[in-house]
A and B are shown apart, each in its own frame.
Chain A
Amino acid sequence: MARARTGAKRTAGKTNGKRESLDGPDREQLHGLLRQMLLGRRFEEKAAEGYAIGRIGGFCHLYIGQEAVAVGAMSALRPDDYALAAYREHVQAITRGMSAREVMAELHGKAAGSSHGKGGSMHLFSAEHRFLGGWGIVGGQMPIATGVGWAIRYRGGDQVCLCFMGEAAVNQGAFHESLNMAALWKLPVIFIVENNWFGMGTAWDRAASRLEIDEKASVYGMAGESVDGMDVMAVRDVVGRAVERARKDGSPALIEARCYRFMGHSMSDPVSGVYRTKEEVEEHKRRDPIRGFIHRLKEAGLLTDDELHAMDDDVHAEVNDAVEFAESSPDPGPASIHEHVYASENVHGRLFFGEDHG
């Protein structure tokens, strides 16, 4: 086997544990990255609480452990760029600029949620922040991202589109169809595979005939790179370079970010005991992307304890406020059931059928 099935070395991947330098962003920007990761972590912890007490329902997939990927990657974007993701996307949405309030309210199914309580955890959207979902079918977001790239090219723009997916999506036909079209037509789409090693309970080495994901790019003549997804600076660097290439000449790219989820697949899945051991999870937690980044900032004299505590208090307050907002918001009324099925309902004839439309 090319790589150990377990163990923290796996996530480090080809970077061999070498950390990306802190050079480049200034102190304020570094703090910004840390704050976004902390916000993502605290948000998900609160979501888990809300789920445990039955205020959040349905499927709820938490991002804890993978924060460096979303935060590092999104930091390479401009406001007029686009991003979309699958269903483990709360932190992508918030990092892209959606408020913790509107996302938490959506998880609670409330009218004040970003989709008025009709989408839920898996379907977060923001036209304002060009966050294009929130898609629940594995791999389904990839052709859509390719279409966003098409629209950018069609207009002659220099924006890019980031498309996040889990490693399990790599085996879907949509992955290969999308990479082929993006390479064929030179569409500025960066496909980011978050390889957390498990498609629900199926380990990657039980699902893939070849484990190396970045290699799949070469089949389509596309740049492919693997990066330590537990290192926010490394992700930022690799994605940043891909974004610059895409802006310049429309080149798409495939990036594998090797990471690990510290929680179960969804809230109904145990953290360990079925398809992985407690020891394996604990071992990966030693490479916690947030603790690691804090340690490095402190070592470099770029973060004080006071600053960290103030930041964490601030993040806690933001998340608590989001929960309070979500809990105190009203449910959507029954009248909203038929709203938004169609954009243009001012038509002749009947659009809806059944007992309530007889």
Chain B
Amino acid sequence: MAVMLYRDALNAALAEEMERDQHVFLMGEEVGAYNGAYKVSKGLLDRFGPNRVVDTPITELGFAGLGVGAAMAGLRPVIEFMTFNFSMLALDQVFNSAAKLHYMSAGQFSCPIVFRGPTGAALQLSAQHSQAMESTYAHFPGLKVCAPATPADAKGLLKSAIRDDDPVVVMEGELLYAMKDEVPDEADWLVPLGVADVKREGTDVSVITHGKMVHLALQAAAQLERDGVSVEVVDLRSLRPLDVEAILRSVHKTNRAVYLEEGWPFVGIGAQIVDIIQSEAFDYLDAPLARVTQLDVPMPYNKQLERLVKPSAERVIAACNRVLYRRPEA
């Protein structure tokens, strides 16, 4: 298996799909001549030309809607948001147009489009540039949403998203782009939407999570292991469709669960997951479910404050201990 950066895995996915299907094109701010704000599209302009790798003006509503129209007319656009923070300017086209077109036209028009870019906080970017938007997007029926945590998942999920006939939102992470890991060599590596992945097997407690937080969960699990606690880390990978079976399977095994996410607690992804667990696995639970999220405030700039607001391995460990009714020695 080749070892690749997360950004290069996305780049490979884009290049392979553009090679395979001439209807696929990439559009967004700085994707072409600048090679992408995070270098995800590096080299694609040279390889595919300006008709298929398109630098846009800063006009998010405009180019998101352009993508919807192009999809209606038979193309398969990949629309890059430099970050999902900026996608808020485009939400009318994502929620009102892309998500509803197939329904409102009774299937006469589909909308095979991908909206992708980084979600969540990086470092000290403060309130407007640090938002985790997954629950906002997953709220809307008509959209599919995924959040790959590793280079292999990034490549496989993006390729699946591009081939899907519905609008798919692929949520990456600024702090993930430089992550290096193995990516399977097989020519057509696909990760299907709606299939979770157990990133670490365990027996005492399930930490269920998605995206960048998978790595925080693994860090917490490694620390708890030293205390003799066996943590299972379930990476949902897709939020809609959602691999409910995988969640239930893990809870049946461990009888205790924590949901970890980067976003805010109120109507977060975790709120939906704990509802599913309490209604579908109530009898398997040995403790109330716990959630770890960003604190319920806009992101502060100060480094120390930011660290406190973001989910941390310590808070994940504390939540695990809580559901285990465990008081670790100080």
Chain A residues within 8 Å of B, Cβ to Cβ: 82, 114-116, 118-119, 123, 125-127, 132-137, 140, 142-152, 154, 173-174, 177-178, 180-181, 184, 339-344, 347-353, 358
Assess whether B166 is in contact with A115, with CB atoms less than 8 Å apart: no
Chain A nearest Cβ from B69, distance in angstroms = 2
Contact sample, A vs B, 14 pairs, CB 8 Å cutoff: A82-B73, A115-B104, A116-B106, A125-B106, A137-B96, A140-B92, A150-B69, A154-B70, A177-B59, A340-B105, A342-B142, A349-B194, A349-B238, A349-B242
Residues in B163-192 with C-beta less than 8 Å from chain A: 164-166, 192
- B64 touches A (CB below 8 Å): yes
Assess whether A123 is in contact with B105, with CB atoms less than 8 Å apart: yes
Q: Which residue of A lies closest to B72 (CB)?
A: A132
Given A151-B73, A347-B241, A349-B243: A341 and B103 within 8 A (CB)? Answer: yes
Assess whether A347 is in contact with B105, with CB atoms less than 8 Å apart: no
Q: In this complex, which of A133, A173, A177, A178 has the most chain B Cβ atoms within 10 angstroms of its Cβ? A: A177
Given A115-B105, A347-B241: A146 and B92 within 8 A (CB)? Answer: no
In the bound complex, residues from chain A placing their C-beta under 8 Å from that of B101 are: 133
Which of A119, A149, A343 meets B165, CB within 8 Å? A343
Assess whether A349 is in contact with B57, with CB atoms less than 8 Å apart: no
Q: Mark B56-70, 1 if CB is under 8 A from A, else 0.
A: 110101111111111
- B328 touches A (CB below 8 Å): no
- B108 touches A (CB below 8 Å): yes
Assess whether A127 is in contact with B108, with CB atoms less than 8 Å apart: yes
Q: Which residue of B lies closest to A146 (CB)?
A: B66
How far is it, in angstroms, between the C-alpha of A4 and the C-alpha of B66 when the chains are bound?
Answer: 37
How far is it, in angstroms, between the C-alpha of A82 and the C-alpha of B109 when the chains are bound?
Answer: 13
Q: Which residue of A lies closest to B112 (CB)?
A: A343
- B295 touches A (CB below 8 Å): no
Chain B nearest Cβ from A152, distance in angstroms = 7
Assess whether B65 is in contact with A140, with CB atoms less than 8 Å apart: yes
Q: Which residue of B lies closest to A357 (CB)?
A: B244
Assess whether B165 is in contact with A344, with CB atoms less than 8 Å apart: yes
Assess whether B166 is in contact with A343, with CB atoms less than 8 Å apart: yes
Which of A154, A174, A184 meets B65, CB within 8 Å? A174
Assess whether A148 is in contact with B69, with CB atoms less than 8 Å apart: yes
How far is it, in angstroms, between the C-alpha of A145 and the C-alpha of B67 when the chains are bound?
Answer: 10
How far is it, in angstroms, between the C-alpha of A145 and the C-alpha of B66 when the chains are bound?
Answer: 7
Q: Mark B269-283, 1 if CB is under 8 A from A, else 0.
A: 000100010011000
Q: Mark B100-117, 1 if CB is under 8 A from A, else 0.
A: 011111111111100000
How far is it, in angstroms, between the C-alpha of A133 and the C-alpha of B97 when the chains are bound?
Answer: 10
In the bound complex, residues from chain B placing their C-beta under 8 Å from that of A136 are: 96
Given contacts A341-B103, A343-B112, A353-B272, 6 further A-B contacts (CB under 8 A): A143-B61, A144-B65, A146-B65, A151-B73, A181-B56, A344-B164
Chain B nearest Cβ from A256, distance in angstroms = 21
Assess whether A348 is in contact with B104, with CB atoms less than 8 Å apart: no
* Pairs of residues from A and B, 3 with the lowest C-beta to C-beta distance, nearest first: A147-B69, A143-B65, A349-B194
Given A126-B108, A344-B164, A347-B192: A174 and B141 within 8 A (CB)? Answer: no
How far is it, in angstroms, between the C-alpha of A348 and the C-alpha of B272 when the chains are bound?
Answer: 18
In the bound complex, residues from chain A placing their C-beta under 8 Å from that of B217 are: none
In the bound complex, residues from chain B placing their C-beta under 8 Å from that of A133 are: 101, 104-105
In the bound complex, residues from chain B placing their C-beta under 8 Å from that of A142 are: 65
In the bound complex, residues from chain B placing their C-beta under 8 Å from that of A150 are: 66, 69-70, 75
Q: Mark B182-216, 1 if CB is under 8 A from A, else 0.
A: 00000000001111100000000000000000000
Assess whether A184 is in contact with B57, with CB atoms less than 8 Å apart: yes
In the bound complex, residues from chain A placing their C-beta under 8 Å from that of B194 are: 347-351
Chain A nearest Cβ from B197, distance in angstroms = 12
How far is it, in angstroms, between the C-alpha of A300 and the C-alpha of B261 when the chains are bound?
Answer: 74
- B304 touches A (CB below 8 Å): no
Residues in B69-109 with C-beta less than 8 Å from chain A: 69-75, 77, 92-93, 96-97, 101-109
Assess whether B92 is in contact with A181, with CB atoms less than 8 Å apart: no
Assess whether B104 is in contact with A147, with CB atoms less than 8 Å apart: no
Q: Which residue of A lies closest to B101 (CB)?
A: A133
Assess whether A350 is in contact with B165, with CB atoms less than 8 Å apart: no
- B259 touches A (CB below 8 Å): no
In the bound complex, residues from chain B placing their C-beta under 8 Å from that of A144 are: 65-66, 68-69, 72, 93, 97
How far is it, in angstroms, between the C-alpha of A167 and the C-alpha of B96 when the chains are bound?
Answer: 21
How far is it, in angstroms, between the C-alpha of A148 and the C-alpha of B67 when the chains are bound?
Answer: 9
Q: Which residue of B lies closest to A126 (CB)?
A: B108
Assess whether A351 is in contact with B72, with CB atoms less than 8 Å apart: no
In the bound complex, residues from chain B placing their C-beta under 8 Å from that of A114 are: 106, 108
How far is it, in angstroms, between the C-alpha of A54 and the C-alpha of B67 when the chains are bound?
Answer: 38
Assess whether A146 is in contact with B57, with CB atoms less than 8 Å apart: no
- B137 touches A (CB below 8 Å): no
Q: Mark B143-165, 1 if CB is under 8 A from A, else 0.
A: 01000000000000000000011
Assess whether A174 is in contact with B61, with CB atoms less than 8 Å apart: yes
Chain A nearest Cβ from B102, distance in angstroms = 5
Assess whether A118 is in contact with B104, with CB atoms less than 8 Å apart: yes
Assess whether B195 is in contact with A349, with CB atoms less than 8 Å apart: yes
